[in-house]
Structure 1
Amino acid sequence: MITKEQIAADYQQIQDEICAALELADGKARFEEEKWDREGGGGGRTRVIQNGDVFEKGGVNFSAVHGQLPDNMKRALQVQSDDFFATGVSIVIHPNHPLVPIIHMNIRYFEMPSTFGNDQPPVRWFGGGIDLTPHYVIDEDAQFFHAGLKGVCDSYYHDFYHRFKLWADDYFYIKHRNETRGIGGIFYDRLTANDELSWENIFDFSKAVGRSFIPIYTELVERNRHKQFTDEQQQWQYQRRSRYTEFNLVYDAGTKFGLETNGRIESILMSLPPTAKWLYNYQAAPGSEEERTLSLLKKGINWA
């Protein structure tokens, strides 16, 4: 049986691999690391990259925390035990180029011992996913992104991509705007062992999702980083960043979990962009690339 210590150690290695590859891809900026301890148990490594050749701001965070869940989180997670352990890697990258997309990736593991005094097994599960938020939707890039994720999913279970793509469409949805945050990706939660998948299978899948980040994202960066762009396109980038911010502050479960469990604020909110704009009653020009992008921020588009 895999242990929580092994999971945390492998996640730390994935954080190291991703940071090294992103520094190489940017060519200028380097990650700054801050190690932190959580009051109540555990801690993590926050790594932030800023003001690079292509990455304006990004974070690759690792955490492994434990302690007691507040009552409101126990109700939200529908669990009984007080003690918990959670570990994971979380990434958000905001490029400085409007044709290079925002990307988010998260892999995580959650565990609670059995309730004291009974014989119930411990609660444990994996979760995670990757989603892409282009400022401008480029069809070929969207197809490449989803094909890469489908390949990872298909190598572990035949319906992972279909299930997790639908889940991402529903999860990364800005209800008050009636639009998806981007072009989706995959999202899964509470993934546990069953007759067809062992804990080792699920853990290997979690690591494969994490390690798919670099080959997929660096390809999208290289495709677009040298393209010319206008000031108007950059202003649109800032407008789209505001939608990203709204989702993370209103709906994102990871943000809520971090805040409710006394997490480190700087690490939790590293997902926010350095610059965003809220223009009153903005309307994209008819027939523009901006209008086309808005028309593609919908659930159910089959990019793969």
Structure 2
Amino acid sequence: MKEEISEYFKNLQDKICKSIETTDDKGRFKEDNWTHATGGGGRTRIMNKGRIIEKGGVNFSAVEGQISTSLKTMLKVKENLDFFATGVSIVMHPENPFVPIIHMNVRYFELSDGQSWFGGGIDLTPHYIDMKQAKWFHEKLKAACDTHDEKYYEAFKNWADDYFYIQHRNETRGIGGIFYDYLKPNVEIPQTKTTHTKDEIFAFSKSVGESFAPIYTELMHSNYSKAYTSEEKKWQLIRRGRYAEFNLVWDRGTKFGLETNGRTESILMSLPPHADWDYNFEVKPSTKEAETQKMLVKGTNWF
């Protein structure tokens, strides 16, 4: 089944790139094909200086090989096993501070001892939180979840709140979304107490992947033409800095890519083109920036 899953992810990359290019109406993705040292490879596609997207990446990979010693520790296995991993990973950094950053990842992993699982999710990082758009975003994700299991949204929303959390800043990366990992066929998911077949979990991952383009192109359309000031651009750079901190310090995907000797340029494509780290930066009270900062907490009910 791994070939079917990998081919689906490759086609998903094509569809998403086409949708983003059509909406941006200027930027085009440049493709960089690469091979992995132990087998397989991928297609990294990067857009720079588009009309709406300042920097965006849509990556596909399908790699294989023997798990390293550090990966054995991470996966809690003792045997010398082979692995296969495939997926699509996306990050978009827009030019306009009122267009949010978005991240999506859908992935599949299997070991030569027969274990296999799916992971992924979508999360949104607005530089300025718009409550109406935040509610709409979470409604779309809930609809994608409910088609497969009505327990998914609440469980995976809470998982996202916990995962996309910048511990050293005591703040969430953005407004969250959904996050899931280690969804194994016919094994109870602790967060939902439900089980699903491999086909059912794959179908759910497809729904997550296919929800990306309609969600983000709508947010691009709605916000890209809004006027902004130099102060608002400055805030965008500060928020990008926090985004980079999470990806470099806490993100498991970054660590996994590096642990498996992944391609560094493809792994770090998630970083913004420009960011600021002002020493001891403090938000001015009673500002739009302060309102956004107050909402970067776990457990927010965006409905």
Equivalent residue for 2:153?
Answer: 161
Give SS of 1:262's match: coil
Equivalent residue for 2:64?
Answer: 66
Q: Distance in 2 between matches of 1:196 and 1:250?
A: 33
Q: Distance in 2 between matches of 1:218 and 1:147?
A: 16
Instruction: Write out per-residue CA displacement over residues 19-47 of structure 1, whole angstroms, 9 at most, x where no aligned residue.
Output: 00000010001000011001111100000
Q: Distance in 2 between matches of 1:280 and 1:255?
A: 26
Superposition deviation, residue 70 in structure 1: 1.1
Q: Distance in 2 between matches of 1:83 and 1:113?
A: 5
Instruction: Write out per-residue CA displacement over residues 39-79 of structure 1, whole angstroms, 9 at most, x where no aligned residue.
Output: 11110000001100000000000000000111111111112
Give SS of 2:59's match: strand
Equivalent residue for 1:133?
Answer: 125
Is structure 2 residue 228 aligned with structure 1 residue 236?
no
Specify which of 11, 14, 17 is matched with residue 13 of structure 1.
Answer: 11
Superposition deviation, residue 80 in structure 1: 3.3
Specify which of 170, 177, 194 is matched with residue 162 of structure 2.
Answer: 170
Letter in 2 for 1:104: H
Equivalent residue for 1:211?
Answer: 210
Q: Distance in 1 between matches of 2:38 and 2:24?
A: 37
Equivalent residue for 2:191?
Answer: none
Give SS of 1:302's match: coil
Superposition deviation, residue 233 in structure 1: 0.1
Superposition deviation, residue 281 in structure 1: 1.0
Equivalent residue for 2:53?
Answer: 55
Moved over 4 A (4+): none
TM-score, length-scaled by structure 2: 0.96
Letter in 2 for 1:155: T
Letter in 2 for 1:99: F
RMSD, matched Cα: 0.9
Superposition deviation, residue 222 in structure 1: 1.0
Q: Report percent identity of matched pairs.
A: 58
Q: Distance in 2 between matches of 1:85 and 1:233?
A: 44
Give SS of 1:131's match: strand
Letter in 1 for 2:130: I
TM-score, length-scaled by structure 1: 0.96
Q: Distance in 1 between matches of 2:97 and 2:165?
A: 21
Letter in 1 for 2:234: Q
Letter in 1 for 2:178: I
Give SS of 1:19's match: helix
User: Where in structure 2 are the equivalents of 1:88-167 lying within 5 Å?
Assistant: 88-114=87-113, 122-167=114-159
Q: Distance in 2 between matches of 1:77 and 1:221?
A: 38
